[in-house]
Amino acid sequence: MALRYTAGMSALPHATPLLRTDALRSVEQEALAQGAPLMERAGQAAATLARELAGDSGKAVLVLAGPGNNGGDALVVARHLRRWWFPVTVVCLSDPDRYTGDAATALLAWRNAGGTCLRELPAESGWSLIIDGLFGIGLKRELASPFDRAIAYLNESDAPVLSLDLPSGLDADSGRTWGCAAHADHTITFIAAKPGLLTGDGPDHCGRIHLADLGLRHAVHEAATGVCIGDGVLDNALPPRLRNSHKGTYGNVGVIGGAPGMTGAVLLAARAALRCGAGRVYAGCLDANAPAIDLLQPELMLRTADVLSGLDSLDVLAIGPGLGRSAAAQSLLRQALERNIPLVLDADALNLMADIESLKIRLPSAGTTRVLTPHPAEAARLLGCDTTAVQNDRVGAALRLARQFNAGVALKGCGTVCAWPDGHWAINSSGNPGMAAAGMGDVLTGMIAALLAQGTHERQALAAGVWLHGAAADTCVTEGTGPVGLTASEVIDSARRLLNRT
């Protein structure tokens, strides 16, 4: 299967509940205890989608059934497709007679319908559809033979792939791959959407997501502490602008950073804040040789970092873009942490906090809005672990940061994870590979600061800023700019257009 990038391919509706494995198991077990036929419902839903994807009933379908309940789901799919006159070939790469519970029942029903199970991958090709039912949410180990060979088989096939619950080999909670993973064109996920579909490697593997709640929507909403961030997050994020208003109505933002050689970071953040609606924006640079005016954005008010740090009229302060780790940078960060205004902390502000315990412990005691926007390496430094540990549990890492620093957190990356100290979290669905470019994080910092300055509630400012950042980049790609060569500056103007459409 040819791999490609398609903007927005895996998007789910805004506020779709997300369940991690433990919560999902609880919902599932409670439903089973009440007699809900979940495997039959899942198989029926997946078979209905498979029939649509495969087209004419005379076309051959290959079903790969794994050793657990995911394999049972696959057998139910196979039975329904056979009933609808599709030629169906089922491959069970482990002993099907070792199935237990509902999976054993599904196997018996398949055999009673006249179906058989092969134990080896067939040599033929030309399938109209391949059903990936090898592994679901229970996989927590590296894939070995024969399952890695089966995944290679379907990934190399020209046939479209439909994965059941999640692509085999993908971790449901983190989005990491266990050695290898199926590249699906479609994934039908059962009961609730999983975070691993939206973050880490998930978006590169899941294709278009279809959600089948199996009649458990109410239970899922009751159990969920996480949601998907989608385009509805901008609804009412900013109130309509009154004619009788002035620049002070929309807040004063300060951005501090810009050590020698890094002036551009501060200017990008400041430009983003201005073009996303802040009434006044000040940019303060540590570099004594920084320009006194931004010729590309002369509306910005440039100051030295020391002068800006003491400015009383600021409503929001963002600190960190290009800040560096000098003694002067440390002093500026200490002063910022003592201010009783909303703070957005990024880049070297986070690195300094990780390096200096006296800075790290100042943040939790603050009673005002604090937002941290680390990338995985910065998050690892703050948590005292390595980047791999963060990436292997992105939701958990974001939640630990939020609790430790009593702050809203945006753990950046594919499927940025937002988290808050009360244990709630969200995963962003917007964005594309073009954002892997210098300056993108600085622009996000400015966007969040702008929303805060205009009075957006701190939770919505974080979630809306993250989504707006990615959606602006997606719009650029849709309009023919990127993903290759997309720049942070181009994302700023795209974000302004999106804000004015809401």
Q: Chunked in runs of 10, what are the mean pLDDT values of the chain (502 residues)?
A: 40 92 97 97 98 89 96 98 96 93 97 96 92 95 94 95 98 96 98 97 96 97 97 91 94 98 97 98 96 94 96 97 97 95 97 93 78 98 97 97 96 98 97 96 98 96 98 96 96 96 76
Nearest to 322 by CA among 412, 259, 254, 374: 259
Does residue 250 sit in the same domain as residue 387? yes
Query: Going by DSSP bridges, is the β-strand pair 252-257/280-285 parallel, antiparallel, or unpaired?
Result: parallel
- Residue 444's pLDDT is 98
Q: Using the 8-state DSSP alphabet, how is residue 170 labeled? A: B
Does residue 195 sit in the same domain as residue 262? no
Please report whether residue 22 resides in a domain: yes
- Residue 361's pLDDT is 82
The neighbouring-strand residues paired with 283 are: 255, 302
Instruction: Domain of residue 185: give its range.
Output: 17-224
DSSP codes joined into one string, 179-216: SB----SEEEEESSB-GGGTSTTHHHH--EEEEE-TT-
Does residue 259 sit in the same domain as residue 358? yes
What's the rounded Cα separation, in Å, for the pair 295 and 372?
A: 30
Please report where in the chains the tokens 């809203």 appear, as a residue: 408
Q: Using the 8-state DSSP alphabet, how is residue 363 labeled? A: S
What's the rounded Cα separation, in Å, for the pair 72 and 103?
A: 4
Which CATH number goes with the domain that contains 100? Answer: 3.40.50.10260
- Residue 5's pLDDT is 40
Please report whether residue 36 resides in a domain: yes
- Residue 87's pLDDT is 96
Does residue 29 sit in the same domain as residue 152? yes
Please report whether residue 389 resides in a domain: yes
Does residue 205 sit in the same domain as residue 245? no
What's the rounded Cα separation, in Å, for the pair 372 and 74?
A: 43
Does residue 184 sit in the same domain as residue 130? yes
CA atoms within 13 A on the CB side of 394: 33
List Cα–Cα distances, 344 to 195, 234, 235, 300, in angstroms: 25, 20, 22, 19
Listed residues 202, 224, 246: the one ending a domain: 224
Cβ neighbours for 96, distance < 8 A, ≥ 6 positions apart: 65, 71, 107, 117
Please report whether residue 6 resides in a domain: no
What's the rounded Cα separation, in Å, for the pair 238 and 196?
A: 31
Burial string for 455-490 (b: 16+ CB within 10 Å, else e) reads ebebebbbbbbbbbbbbbbbbbbeeebbbeebbbeb
CA atoms within 13 A on the CB side of 390: 23
Please report where in the chains the tokens 């294709």 appear, as a residue: 207
DSSP codes joined into one string, 287-328: -TTS-SS-TT-TTSEEEEHHHHHT-TT-SEEEE-TT--SSHH
Listed residues 189, 207, 224: the one ending a domain: 224
Please report whether residue 12 resides in a domain: no
Does residue 135 sit in the same domain as residue 187? yes
- Residue 502's pLDDT is 66
Helix (H, G, I), strand (E, B), or coil: what is residue 11? coil
* 83-87-92-95 Cα dihedral, nearest 10 degrees: 60
- Residue 7's pLDDT is 41
Does residue 456 sit in the same domain as residue 335? yes
Please report whether residue 10 resides in a domain: no
Does residue 54 sit in the same domain as residue 183? yes
Structure tokens at 158: 């020209």
Does residue 423 sit in the same domain as residue 490? yes
Does residue 249 sit in the same domain as residue 208? no
- Residue 362's pLDDT is 80
Listed residues 172, 201, 224: the one ending a domain: 224
Q: Hey, how many other C-beta atoms are within 10 angstroms of the C-beta on 339? A: 17
What's the rounded Cα separation, in Å, for the pair 99 and 107?
A: 8
Number of folded domains in the chain? 2
Please report whether residue 4 resides in a domain: no
List Cα–Cα distances, 220 to 138, 214, 217, 223, 474, in angstroms: 19, 10, 5, 5, 30
Q: Rg (Cα) of the chain, in Å, rounded?
A: 25
Does residue 171 sit in the same domain as residue 240? no
Main-chain phi, psi angles of 444, to 5 degrees: -60, -45
- Residue 1's pLDDT is 30
Q: Are 164 and 194 in contact (CB under 8 A)?
A: no
- Residue 111's pLDDT is 97
Structure tokens at 246: 């002035």
Which CATH number goes with the domain that contains 312? Answer: 3.40.1190.20
Q: Are 28 and 191 in contact (CB under 8 A)?
A: yes
Structure tokens at 231: 């385009």
Helix (H, G, I), strand (E, B), or coil: what is residue 31? helix
Please report whether residue 164 resides in a domain: yes
pTM listed for this prediction = 0.95
